[in-house]
């Protein structure tokens, strides 16, 4: 990021202002939020001043803005109400920069910051970037103030999004921009309208839940190491090896635990607990709920029935039980996300190569598990999938309702009904 500088003899009243430090001519390195600012002395105003943070990052252009500002003040006898110095008069680009800082937990108003995942941050910023790309056709992102964005800009982006997204993604995109403008209004306290407050969302047609049959899952497993393990990337003939030695165990763990990607990949042997009644289960942190509620006290439970226990025996239960080792790929030198992505992409690859015609991905293994769980558990299914509320658990205490569901699940659940 280019550092702003003032010449040796700057225009009268010109400063460099940091939106983060809230200081003129700061010594910090927050160059991305530095802007030129001008202070104008009010003639006959007993030392009063009027200030404005300028939009341009070009010194010469900023001077022109400063002169226009001073002339405007003189013509109104210095009565114009100036926007506060706190930094709530951003350019379009600066607004997005501030939103990125807010999502990352680096905002000055710590009490207003929400704890969101990195993936959610990336998604929000991706939609904001598309909006900026669309605005660039008509606007200068550095000099146009965010309050100058109007319904014409929204309409143009709306038509762009219609042509690029299906109904579900379209709604997420427009919702993300609505949230961005809400941030500017509610957190930055910019006096403006939310230009994305009213729009026609798209109707999302709910599709039937797609699961795999026992034969289809076996076909995928049997294809590993047999069918073509290379995937052709792009149009240049580049090939990527989709085979990983942990795929078979990984896919089976997903099917038999019904876990989300991070849960399965980070599952450890020490997460296994046994009740006085002999019921085996995994007790793992409910990362999603804990992150939202900023706590570590919410957990979820995975019953270990005969299907799953047989797999765990195959994966080294007797030697590994009670250890801190990961169950899947214990000797790892890659990040969790790398393994997660490899499992997702490889599953899709082997589904295609094995000749299965269904449109399924790794997440359909979780749907398959929950479908069979619901068949056995009925209304109690949500107690184990965290879909019908959470129970606060302390230390190793287990809520009796969950315990009963665990015992019942251990006895009843059989994926594919066998």
Q: For residue 302, what is the domain's CATH number?
A: 1.10.443.10
Interval 28-79: pLDDT, tens? 888 877 888 988 887 766 667 788 888 888 899 989 988 988 888 887 776 6
Interval 286-343: pLDDT, tens? 777 777 666 777 788 888 888 899 999 999 999 999 899 999 999 999 999 999 999 9
In the predicted model, is pLDDT for residue 83 greater than 50? no
313 found inside a domain: yes
Rounded average pLDDT over 157-163: 95
Between these two residues, 291 and 274, which has the higher pLDDT value? 274
Give the single-character DSSP code of 91. Answer: B
368 found inside a domain: yes
**147 plus 219 within the same structural domain:** no
d(CA 63, CA 10): 9
**302 plus 388 within the same structural domain:** yes
State the maximum Cα–Cα separation within the chain, in Å, rounded to a whole number: 90
d(CA 257, CA 283): 12
**128 plus 276 within the same structural domain:** no
Q: Which domain does 134 fall in, by range? A: 92-186
**253 plus 137 within the same structural domain:** no
Helix ranges, 140-265 (H): 151-164, 167-186, 214-223, 247-257, 261-265
Q: How many residues does the chain have?
A: 418
Handedness of CA 168, 291, 334, 280 (dihedral sign): negative
Give the number of other Cβ atoms within 10 Å of residue 96's Cβ: 21
* Residue 412 and residue 376 in contact, taking contact as beta carbons nearer than 8 Å: yes
**115 plus 235 within the same structural domain:** no
d(CA 365, CA 381): 16
Place of tokens 């919410």: 298
338 found inside a domain: yes
pLDDT, position 52: 85
Phi, then psi, of 273 in degrees rounded to 5: -130, 155
**50 plus 147 within the same structural domain:** no
d(CA 382, CA 359): 26
Between these two residues, 309 and 207, which has the higher pLDDT value? 309
**333 plus 370 within the same structural domain:** yes
87 found inside a domain: no
Rounded average pLDDT over 365-370: 85
Domain boundary among 169, 186, 203: 186
Rounded average pLDDT over 78-94: 62
Distances (CA, A) of 117 to 17, 114, 174, 290, 341: 31, 10, 20, 11, 17
Domain boundary among 146, 171, 186: 186
Least confident span in 138-147, 288-297, 299-308, 402-411: 402-411
Residue 416 tokens read as: 């594919």
């Amino acid at each position: 990021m280019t550092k702003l500088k003032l010449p040796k003899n700057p225009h009268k009243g010109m400063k460099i202002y940091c939106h983060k430090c809230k200081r003129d001519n700061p010594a910090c390195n927050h160059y991305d939020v530095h802007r030129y600012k001008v202070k104008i002395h009010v003639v006959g105003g007993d030392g009063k001043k009027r200030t404005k943070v300028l939009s341009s990052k070009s010194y010469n252009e900023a001077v022109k803005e400063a002169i226009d500002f001073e002339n405007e003040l003189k013509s109104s006898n210095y009565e114009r109400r100036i926007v506060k110095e706190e930094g709530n008069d951003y350019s379009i680009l600066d607004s997005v920069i501030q939103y990125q800082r807010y999502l990352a937990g680096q905002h000055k108003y710590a009490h207003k910051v929400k704890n969101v995942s990195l993936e959610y941050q990336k998604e929000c910023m991706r939609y904001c970037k598309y909006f900026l790309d669309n605005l660039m056709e008509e606007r200068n992102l550095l000099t146009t103030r965010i309050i100058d964005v109007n319904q014409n800009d929204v309409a143009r982006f709306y038509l762009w999004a219609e042509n690029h997204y299906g109904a579900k993604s379209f709604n997420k995109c427009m919702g993300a921009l609505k949230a961005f403008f809400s941030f500017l209004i509610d957190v930055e306290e910019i006096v403006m309208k939310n230009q994305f407050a009213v729009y026609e969302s798209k109707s999302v047609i709910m599709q039937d839940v797609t699961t795999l049959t026992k034969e289809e899952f076996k076909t995928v497993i049997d294809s590993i190491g047999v069918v073509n393990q290379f995937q052709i990337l792009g149009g240049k003939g580049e090939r990527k090896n989709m085979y990983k030695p942990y795929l078979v165990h990984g896919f089976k763990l997903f099917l038999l635990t019904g876990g989300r990607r991070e849960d399965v990949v980070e599952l450890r042997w020490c997460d296994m607990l046994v009740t006085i009644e002999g019921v085996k289960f995994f007790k793992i942190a409910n990362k999603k709920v804990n992150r939202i509620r900023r706590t570590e006290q919410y957990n979820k439970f995975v019953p270990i029935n005969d299907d799953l226990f047989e797999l765990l025996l195959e994966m080294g239960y007797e030697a590994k039980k009670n250890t801190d080792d990961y169950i899947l790929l214990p000797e790892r030198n890659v990040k969790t996300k790398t393994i997660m992505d490899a499992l997702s992409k490889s599953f899709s690859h082997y589904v295609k190569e094995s000749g299965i015609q269904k449109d399924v991905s790794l997440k359909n293994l979780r749907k398959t598990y929950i479908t069979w769980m619901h068949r056995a558990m009925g209304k109690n299914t949500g107690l184990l999938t965290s879909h019908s509320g959470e129970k606060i658990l302390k230390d190793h205490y287990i809520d009796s309702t969950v315990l009963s569901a665990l015992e019942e699940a251990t006895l009843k659940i059989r994926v594919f009904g066998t």
